[in-house]
């Protein structure tokens, strides 16, 4: 029960890392509201993970953010944890990626975090101690020729996290903001960046790039999120937690 008394809104939680976080957080006593742009799937998983219905939230919409924060606050009698998890990847080099792909990546991966923090901070501060956890990526620190927009957006999330942390520390009491930086995680997203249709071949190719010899599980990320959501990390703000099997130390 490491998260007893915690009330979390998680974005992009219909599947993958967001869903894994929701499950592990709920296992540790957290009240959880699942949100996603795919509300049908979010609703389906919410029935297994949460005592609340899912909320439709397109993280690129300021209006949707205000409504979702208000609704989650009503459902849980407050919100004191925000997990900004929703994200996409559109592979492409600086020359091959079109402007629409660039803009969409920036909106879903970076602007969403600005909108989410802005919408949530007043509610989080009223329900402190509170924690914002931004799911960035090791791609905020290691570049790839084919991830021009994703690298730039995640680097933006990395530094936005620090700005939010400093603002929250000055403006409120006990409101923290940290980022998590996984390398390849076993979700649908890795299938979008791998070259063959064979899931196992793709995963073992990726694993060979990682010093620990495997890609991450969803739980590898969720454990870090449990820690950051809990009061165990109460002196940690503006920090980045790398979950990369050692790749960025090479
Ligand atoms: P996923 O593709 O399995 O799930 C992403 C979820 O976000 C889906 O449920 C999708 O419906 C939702 N989503 C997409 N656009 C949205 C929008 N506009 N509004 C609300 N929800 C939206 O991806 P995964 O792997 O679970 O990724 C979660 C986060 O982790 C992302 O921010 C991603 O960049 C990050 N990450 C993933 C890694 C990986 O290898 N899978 C590695 C490092 C970071």
DSSP string, 24-65: HHHHTT-EEEEEES-HHHHHHHHHHH-SS--EE--TT-HHHH
Closest ligand 1 atom number to CA of residue 58: 19
pLDDT at 197: 78
pLDDT confidence of residue 26: 98
- How confident is residue 37, by pLDDT bands cut at 50, 70 and 90? very high
- To test the ligand 1 pocket, which listed residue (9, 16, 222) has its Cβ within 8 A of the most ligand atoms? 16
pTM over 0.95: yes
Q: What is the pLDDT of residues 101-132, one digit of tens each?
A: 999 999 999 999 999 999 999 999 999 999 99
User: Which of the four pLDDT bands, split at 50, 70 and 90, describes residue 72?
Assistant: very high
CATH homologous superfamily for the domain 7-187+217-239: NAD(P)-binding Rossmann-like Domain (3.40.50.720)
Residue 112 three-state SS: helix
Handedness of CA 81, 157, 94, 100 (dihedral sign): positive
Q: Which residue's alpha carbon is at the smallest distance from atom 31 of ligand 1? A: 87
Question: What band does 193 get if pLDDT is binned at 50, 70 and 90?
Answer: confident
Beta bridge partners of 178: 133
Residue 195 has pLDDT above 80, yes or no: no
Q: By C-alpha distance, which of 222, 194, 188 is closest to 208?
A: 194
From 82, 109, 142, 189, mutation site for ligand 1 pocket: most ligand atoms within 8 A of C-beta: 189
Q: Where are the domains of the chain?
A: 7-187+217-239
Calculate how far, in angstroms, residue 26's C-alpha sits from the geometric centre of ligand 1.
20
- Alpha-carbon distance 172 to 78, whole Å? 16
pLDDT for the residue 53: 98
Ligand 1 pocket, residues with Cβ under 6 angstroms: 11-12, 14-18, 36-38, 57-60, 85-88, 108, 135, 137, 182, 184-185, 187-190
- What tens digit of pLDDT does each residue of 153-187 get? 999 999 999 999 999 999 999 999 999 999 999 99
pLDDT band at 196 (very low <50, low <70, confident <90, very high): confident
**pLDDT at residue 170, rounded to an integer:** 98
């Amino acid at each position: 029960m490491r998260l007893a008394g915690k009330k979390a809104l998680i974005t992009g939680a219909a599947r993958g890392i967001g869903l894994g976080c929701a499950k592990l957080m709920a296992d540790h006593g957290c009240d959880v509201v699942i949100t996603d742009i795919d509300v049908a799937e979010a609703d389906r998983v919410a029935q297994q993970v949460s005592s609340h219905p899912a909320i439709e939230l397109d993280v690129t919409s300021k209006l949707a953010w205000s409504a979702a924060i208000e609704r989650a606050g009503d459902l849980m009698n407050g919100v004191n944890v925000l997990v900004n998890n929703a994200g996409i990847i559109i592979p492409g080099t600086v020359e091959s990626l079109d402007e629409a792909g660039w803009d969409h990546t920036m909106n879903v991966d970076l602007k969403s975090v600005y909108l989410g923090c802005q919408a949530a901070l007043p509610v989080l501060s009223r329900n402190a101690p509170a924690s914002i956890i931004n799911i960035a990526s090791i791609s905020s620190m290691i570049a790839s020729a084919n991830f021009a927009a994703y690298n730039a957006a995640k680097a933006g999330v990395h530094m936005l996290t620090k700005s939010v942390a400093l603002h929250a520390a000055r403006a409120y009491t006990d409101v923290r903001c940290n980022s998590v930086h996984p390398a390849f995680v076993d979700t649908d997203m890795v299938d979008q960046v791998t070259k063959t249709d064979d899931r196992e071949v793709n995963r073992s190719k990726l694993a060979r790039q990682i010093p620990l010899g495997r890609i991450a599980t969803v739980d590898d990320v969720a454990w870090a999120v449990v820690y950051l959501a809990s009061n165990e990390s109460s002196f940690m703000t503006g920090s980045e937690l790398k979950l990369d099997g050692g790749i960025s130390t090479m």
